[in-house]
């Protein structure tokens, strides 16, 4: 599965990604800068953020969600889980081998 979250800076994204991989909650985390438009506390916001694309297993979703909530700087971090419905079996096997 792929899990998405965002942070407010490249430094926060790097730190969170490193912690997630070190804990073996994901095999890989990719980061990329994005622009977000969203409603928060009654106002429409336009912000620079960093998107984290987290490659993990379905069995780890609950642990990953709790971990992100504990280590994230946002009060309500984005945590969106998407199933992987296909892909290179070798890559999917690597994800399984690198996560616990």
Q: Are 52 and 72 in contact (CB under 8 A)?
A: no
pLDDT (tens digit, 9 = 90+) per residue, 48-79? 999 999 999 999 999 999 999 999 999 999 99
Cα dihedral 66, 50, 25, 60 sign: positive
pLDDT (tens digit, 9 = 90+) per residue, 5-51? 999 999 999 999 999 999 999 999 999 999 999 999 999 999 999 99
Q: Are 78 and 53 in contact (CB under 8 A)?
A: no
- CATH topology for 2-98 is Alpha-Beta Plaits (3.30.70)
What residue segments make up the domains of the chain, in order of their start?
Answer: 2-98
How far apart (Å, rounded) are the C-alpha atoms in residues 14 and 95?
Answer: 19
Query: Band of the pLDDT at 96, cuts 50, 70, 90?
Result: very high
Question: For residue 55, what is the DSSP state?
Answer: E
Q: Are 37 and 45 in contact (CB under 8 A)?
A: yes
């Amino acid at each position: 599965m792929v899990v998405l979250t965002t942070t407010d800076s490249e430094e926060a994204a790097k730190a969170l990604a490193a912690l997630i991989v070190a804990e073996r909650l994901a095999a890989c985390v990719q980061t990329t800068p994005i622009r977000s438009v969203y409603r928060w506390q009654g106002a429409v916001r336009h912000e620079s953020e960093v998107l984290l694309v987290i490659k993990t297993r379905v069995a780890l979703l609950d642990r990953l969600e709790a971990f992100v909530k504990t280590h994230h700087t946002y009060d309500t971090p984005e945590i969106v889980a998407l199933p992987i419905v296909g892909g290179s079996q070798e890559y999917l096997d690597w994800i399984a081998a690198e996560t616990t």
